[in-house]
């Protein structure tokens, strides 16, 4: 937990909300180099060659897979003429949680470290950019931000994440203790491991860790896109809604390997979250949805759906077909969308709300473009299961956690590599300790004493 390194830090600099733009800021000796790794300027200029205090339009692209993350404006300030006195690169991105998170995560993957509360200001002060009076203010900021992130971290950790991380941590501590015990007490009878046993132990740690990373919402969102199915009987307006969404929000990313040709998958980008709208081949042509649903592929799509938009026609009331469709999808996260409010209402909205009480219910008119913004918000809320006006600190904490998990996995891979190369125990402990360190940074506990305590509780040692 070395916060004093003169390394390069990054953070989301703008207060959070669904405003038009947001800013991710990076400061430190490597800021421009890291920025260059992930930024492709429209003018093809390289950030390391650009002049200080210039702004460049372009795209943030993940160098691993050439996936475009967001369209941005990159601004650079070369030291010492910057807020912190160090090299600073700022990305003005689309507002909204997801693009900002993705850009931040990409920076962390490429050499930046998550900034501690108040760290930018602290660096500014240490570099003589702020005066003494401002120093007091910084201290206050550090304290309040720390308090806040502590309490948010505590909230976030209650349940799920913290238990899972602790489970993995315990496995690592036990393995480490065993290795260290056999190193420090070589004459006590401690059963050793052969390499297949060690590999097994490493798998037992790797698998839950990988799962945890996958399920961290961001992971899923960015890798696959939310599988969304628009369901409903023929002529209820599915295709018009789809077209509307595609027109407004067609995603930049369109090519995903491994898609089958029978199912058309359209990608839209909602606040940076890719939605994979599944449109089985016949939906647009055939009018008989029930028939469609009877088709295997459609069924499978529904089974895999992350979200269903169940559409109804306000001018027709609730029909048997509607009920049939609903029964198929009611167990899934669903938003009930009542379309065609431009026409006369035949539907009793209150009755609908009662019937579909478990799901959000919205009234829209695609034709008149009414209620569509609320629909998008509701979709996001359903996906993220939290209000969009989330505090910046919550966001930061989640990114920090994910970053720590990824680093832990990274170190674990290094352990496996050392094992495969036939390195002795004490080399394995080097990276295993890093795994533990990264996991501990999520739950916030010290590391060395854990291992030593475990050594003495597991093994009868000493002469």
Partner 1 sequence: MEENYKYNKVFEKEYDVIVIGAGHAGCEASLAPARMGLNVLTMTVNLDHVAFMPCNPSIGGPGKGHIVREIDALGGEMARNMDETMLQIRMLNTTKGPAVHGLRGQADKKKYHLRMKQLLEDEPNLDLKQEIAEVLVVEDNKIKGVITKTGILFKAKKVVITTGTFLKGKVIIGEATFNAGPNQQYPANRLSESLNELGFELRRFKTGTPPRINKRSIDFSKMHEQKGEKDLTFSFDSEPYEREQVSCYLTYTNDKTHEIIQDNKMRTPLFSGIIEGVGPRYCPSIEDKVVRFPEKGRHQLFLEPEGEFTAEYYISGLSTSLPEDVQYDLLSTIPGLENAEIMRPGYAIEYDCFDPNDLRLSLETKKIKGLFSAGQINGTSGYEEAAGQGLIAGINAALSLKGKEPLILDRSQAYIGVLIDELVTKGTEEPYRMMTSRAEYRLILRQDNADLRLKEIGYNLGLISEKRYQDFLNKKEDIEKTLDFMRNYQVTPTPENREQLKSLDSGALKKPVKLAKLLKRPEVDYDDLRFFAPDLPEVCQEVKDQVSIQIKYKGYIDRQMSQVEQFKKMEHKLIPQDIEYDSLENIRLEAREKLKKVKPRSLGQASRISGVSPADISVLMIYIEQQERENKDEKK
Which residues form the interface with partner 1 (CB under 8 A)? 1-6, 116-119, 122, 125-126, 132, 135, 138-140, 142-143, 146, 180, 183-189, 421-427, 429-430, 433, 446, 448, 451-452, 455-456, 460-463
Q: How far apart are CA 249 and CA 329, in angstroms?
A: 25
From residue 94, alpha-carbon distances to 18, 59, 144, 205, 273 in Å are 9, 11, 28, 37, 12
Residue with smaller CB distance to partner 1, 59 or 193? 193
CB of residue 63 to partner 1, shortest distance in Å: 23
Q: Is 155 helix (H, G, I), strand (E, B) or coil?
A: helix
Strand (E) or helix (H) holding 67: strand 67-77
CB of residue 285 to partner 1, shortest distance in Å: 60
Residue with smaller CB distance to partner 1, 148 or 355? 148
CB of residue 39 to partner 1, shortest distance in Å: 27
Residue with smaller CB distance to partner 1, 2 or 357? 2
CB of residue 117 to partner 1, shortest distance in Å: 7
Query: In degrees rounded to 5, what are phi and psi of residue 67?
Result: -85, 130
CB of residue 416 to partner 1, shortest distance in Å: 15
Residue with smaller CB distance to partner 1, 187 or 320? 187
CB of residue 91 to partner 1, shortest distance in Å: 25
Give the distance from CA 259 to its chain's centroid: 23
Residue with smaller CB distance to partner 1, 18 or 143? 143
Residue with smaller CB distance to partner 1, 359 or 401? 401
Where are the strands (E) in 219-347, listed by range? 226-231, 263-270, 273-280, 307-313, 334-339
> Listing from the earlier edge strand, what are the strands of the sheet with 54-62?
39-41, 54-62, 67-77, 88-94, 21-27, 9-12, 113-114
From residue 163, alpha-carbon distances to 114, 218, 433 in Å are 23, 19, 20
Residue with smaller CB distance to partner 1, 254 or 457? 457
CB of residue 256 to partner 1, shortest distance in Å: 37
Residue with smaller CB distance to partner 1, 122 or 398? 122
114-133 residues labelled b (16+ CB within 10 A) or e (exposed):
bbbbbbbbbbbbeeebbeee
DSSP 8-state symbol, 271: T
Q: How far apart are CA 287 and CA 188, in angstroms?
A: 77
β-pairing verdict for 263-270 and 39-41: unpaired
Helices (H), 46-194: 97-109, 119-126, 132-157, 160-184
Q: How far apart are CA 64 and CA 84, in angstroms?
A: 30
Residue with smaller CB distance to partner 1, 147 or 288? 147
Residue with smaller CB distance to partner 1, 122 or 169? 122
CB of residue 279 to partner 1, shortest distance in Å: 50
CB of residue 456 to partner 1, shortest distance in Å: 4
CB of residue 112 to partner 1, shortest distance in Å: 16
Give the distance from CA 278 to its chain's centroid: 22
């Amino acid at each position: 937990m070395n916060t004093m390194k003169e390394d390069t830090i990054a953070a989301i600099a703008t207060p959070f909300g669904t405003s038009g733009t947001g800013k991710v800021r990076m400061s430190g000796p490597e800021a421009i180099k890291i920025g260059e790794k992930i930024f492709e300027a429209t003018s093809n200029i390289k950030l390391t060659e650009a002049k200080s205090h210039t702004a460049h339009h372009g795209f943030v692209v993940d160098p691993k897979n050439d996936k475009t993350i967001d369209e941005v404006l990159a601004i650079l300030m070369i030291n010492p003429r910057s807020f912190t006195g160090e090299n600073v690169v700022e990305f003005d991105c689309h507002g909204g949680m997801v693009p900002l998170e993705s850009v931040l995560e990409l920076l962390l993957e490429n050499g930046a470290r998550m900034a501690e509360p108040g760290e930018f200001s602290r660096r500014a002060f240490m570099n003589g950019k702020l005066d003494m009076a401002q120093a007091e203010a910084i201290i206050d900021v550090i304290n309040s931000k720390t308090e806040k992130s502590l309490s948010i971290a505590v909230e976030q950790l209650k349940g799920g994440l913290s238990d899972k991380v602790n489970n993995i941590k315990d496995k690592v501590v036990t393995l480490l203790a065993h290795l260290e015990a056999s190193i420090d007490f070589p004459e006590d009878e401690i059963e050793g491991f052969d390499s297949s046993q060690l590999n097994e132990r490493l798998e037992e740690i790797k698998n839950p860790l990988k799962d945890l990373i996958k399920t961290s919402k961001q992971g899923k969102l960015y890798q696959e896109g939310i599988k969304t199915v628009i369901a409903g009987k023929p002529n209820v307006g599915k295709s018009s809604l789809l077209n509307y969404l595609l027109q407004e929000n067609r995603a930049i990313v369109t090519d995903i390997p491994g898609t089958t040709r029978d199912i058309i998958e359209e990608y839209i980008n909602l606040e940076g979250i890719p939605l994979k709208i599944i449109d089985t081949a016949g939906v647009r042509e055939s009018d008989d949805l029930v028939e469609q649903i009877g088709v295997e592929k459609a069924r499978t799509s529904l089974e895999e759906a992350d979200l269903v938009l169940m559409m109804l026609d306000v001018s027709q009331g609730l029909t048997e077909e509607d009920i049939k469709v609903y029964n198929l999808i009611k167990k899934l996260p669903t938003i009930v969308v009542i379309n065609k409010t431009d026409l006369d209402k035949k539907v009793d909205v209150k009755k609908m709300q009662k019937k579909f009480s478990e799901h959000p219910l919205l009234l829209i008119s695609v034709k008149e473009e009414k209620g569509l913004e609320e629909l998008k918000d509701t979709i996001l809320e359903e996906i993220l299961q939290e209000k969009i006006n989330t505090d910046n600190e919550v966001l930061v904490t989640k990114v920090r956690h994910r970053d720590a998990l990824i680093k832990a996995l990274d170190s674990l891979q290094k352990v496996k590599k050392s094992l495969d190369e036939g390195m002795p125990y004490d080399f394995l402990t080097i990276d295993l300790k890093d795994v533990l360190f990264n996991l501990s940074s999520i739950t916030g506990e010290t590391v060395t004493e854990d291992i030593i305590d475990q050594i003495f509780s597991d093994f009868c040692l000493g002469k």
